[in-house]
Amino acid sequence: MTELMQRILPTVQKPARYTGGEWGEIKKDLKDVRVRVAFCFPDTYEIGMSNLGMRILYGVMNGMDGVWCERVFAPWGDMEQAMRDNSLPLWALESQTPVREFDMIAFTIGYEMAYSNILNMLNLAGVPLRSKDRQGLKNIVFAGGVCAFNPEPLADFIDFFSLGEGEDITVEILQLYDRAKAGGWSKDAFLHEAAKIPGVYVPSFYRHEYNADGTLAAIVPLEGVPQTVTKRIIENLDSAYFPTKMIVPSTEIVHDRANLEVFRGCIRGCRFCQAGFSCRPVRKKSPEVLYRQAVETLRASGNNEITISSLSTSDYRGLKELTDKLIPYCTENKVSLSVPSLRADNFSRDLMERLQAGGRKSSLTFAPEAGTQRLRDVINKNLTEDEILTTCANAFSGGWNNVKLYFMLGLPTETDEDVLGIAELVYKVILTWKEHAVNKKRGLRVHVATAYFVPKPHTPFQWEQQITPQEYLRRCHLLKSHFYSKSIEYDYHAPDLSQLEAVFARGDRRLGAVIEEAVKNGARLDGWDEYFDYAKWQGAFRKCGVDGDFYTVRGYGEDELLPWDTIDVGVTKKFLKLERKRAYEAKITPDCRHGCAGCGAERLLREVSCDA
């Protein structure tokens, strides 16, 4: 650590964010390293270190001969100011080496509102923002994560995107770069070869043409690249790499616990959920492998808490077998075991009581998403009011007195009747508590939260209009005016952030200039209330002559060419259109266990078995 850093660190919040030196970090001798990768998470240390995907790829890359991967996180505002005041460039934690000295700079992107952080981090590193301004093989910038499924808003800045799950494709990319560096290739030659790797999308090799009305007219592949690029998946999760020897953070992080991933994908098919479609097909781990990984992780890390996670953990068929093994181990070793992502239609009171034996009952969280059965059928939630209330009755009779319910406002076909249906459902939950609660002295708390619906790519609702912010707030106020009980806590957020999220989720290449302008004017850390400044974004849109409403309230035509049509996540557009039609008919599609609906994702598997 330099003398300058030693002077700065005591003046900022949480200096341990920037020092490295944690138990379990990987250091290598530079004489044995041929390829150096700065693995960047475009948010703060405590968010990035909670990300399981980053931990997995960190281990995968460092397991390669001649490769050293180091971590980089976005600094908090006080640290950024100190860095700029002292001309201190962004650095990697393991070696304190400036990011601009690395061969490759990789970003994992899970949230559209992190786009400003990507550009700000490159700027702090002293690396040119635009791909065309970075010559040679030094500082090749690539990115992956769920936001890569519509890469176009970042097309000007990212050299190439890695689509899908990264365990295999990342190894292939780094092996190619190793060859290119040894052979003295040009950047163009490297990108041409990278484009031949299945799952790699090089945006500069595709030309986007527009109609006079601003809609996309054509996507023209150049240089012989494919018309579409298909994401990569890992078929056998039992044999895939999993980081049981994890880095132990030296400061508190958001999810300060061990994390056990039980399966990938989702059997449900909720029509608003991007992850539920883009992460298909479903693939599971065996309980035996999961138990071994859990024990190894806990022993290596010293964590006293472990979470079993997936998109819908209670859908995992091996959950009882796994928890039957884990609960005795965790009890004996004083480890807390938690199982989030429970659904109201398969809630297990027995499991929850065993998990919380002897302790205070925590809040239960469910996401009905909509207040009426008609609208739940529109979104294919496959959840009935009776299932919700029966689950609550089971919980209340078991001693629970706190429940959190999450909904969305602005869903396709939603009416005021649907909005008020949320209030009616909440009051039925309260009546259920009065009838079934065994401990009424503590009282009931029902926490209700509503989110502003954001249409996402690769879902049946990717064509939908987003309601205006004014209309969203009207519906929030309408709902709030019908909450009379003191047992209800209601939260809703200002719509500005969700409106921007929708713009970037469904945006095209013309947004690159907007992002760059906003960052130049100080936009950064937009996911944090302390730093989000909507006025900076409004100014950037005006200056660049881009209308955000074009990507939100306008909606998209079903026959319109979409900016992300180059990307194939496995689910076919034909299926998405069919699901949209079924949504407007309020018809449900059963989950994958009740028969294959023909989404197309099974073609990504050599042996077809889409089941958790």
- DSSP H or E run through 451: strand 445-452
Q: How far apart are CA 71 and CA 334, in angstroms?
A: 31
What would the mean pLDDT of 28-44 be, rounded to a whole number? 97
- DSSP H or E run through 297: helix 287-301
- Residue 165: the pLDDT is 97
Q: How far apart are CA 439 and CA 443, in angstroms?
A: 8
The band of 393, judged by pLDDT with boundaries at 50, 70 and 90, is very high
What would the mean pLDDT of 145-164 be, rounded to a whole number? 98
**Region of poorest pLDDT, from 30-44, 429-443, 447-461:** 429-443
Q: What is the pTM assigned to this prediction? A: 0.95
Q: How far apart are CA 511 and CA 531, in angstroms?
A: 21
- Residue 87: the pLDDT is 94
Alpha helices in 234-286 (DSSP H): 274-278
Bridge partners of 259, per DSSP, are 307
* Cβ(392)–Cβ(356) below 8 Å: no
Tokens of 95: 């070696």
State the DSSP code for 41: E
Q: Is the dihedral of CA 128, 133, 136, 141 positive or negative?
A: positive
- Residue 198: the pLDDT is 97
Residues 519-543 pLDDT 10s: 999 999 999 999 999 999 999 999 9
The 258-261 sheet, strands edge to edge? 258-261, 305-309, 336-338
**Residue whose pair of structure tokens reads 């099974």 in the numeric block:** 602
The band of 256, judged by pLDDT with boundaries at 50, 70 and 90, is confident
pLDDT above 50: residue 307: yes
- Residue 361: the pLDDT is 61
Distances (CA, A) of 169 to 142, 198, 400, 508: 12, 8, 45, 25
* Cβ(154)–Cβ(62) below 8 Å: no
Distances (CA, A) of 62 to 20, 232, 320, 321: 16, 20, 35, 33
- Residue 98: the pLDDT is 97
Q: How far apart are CA 410 and CA 453, in angstroms?
A: 5
- Residue 4: the pLDDT is 84
Q: Which residues contact 284 (CB under 8 A, 6 or more apart)?
A: 237, 262, 263, 316, 317, 318, 611, 612
Q: What is the pairing mode between strands 160-162 and 200-201?
A: antiparallel
Distances (CA, A) of 194 to 139, 140, 145, 159, 554: 15, 12, 18, 10, 36
Q: How does 538-560 read in b/e, with b if 16+ C-beta sit within 10 Å?
A: ebbbeebebebebbbeeebeeee
Residues 398-431 pLDDT 10s: 888 999 999 999 999 999 999 999 999 999 999 9
10: how many CB neighbours lie within 10 A of its CB?
7
Q: How far apart are CA 103 and CA 38, in angstroms?
A: 8
Of 130, 147, 152, the C-alpha closest to 139 is 130
**Region of poorest pLDDT, from 344-358, 366-380, 449-463:** 344-358
> Rg of the chain over CA atoms, in angstroms?
24
Distances (CA, A) of 527 to 11, 42, 367, 452: 24, 10, 22, 15
- Residue 358: the pLDDT is 47
CA dihedral 384, 389, 394, 399 (to 10 degrees): 140
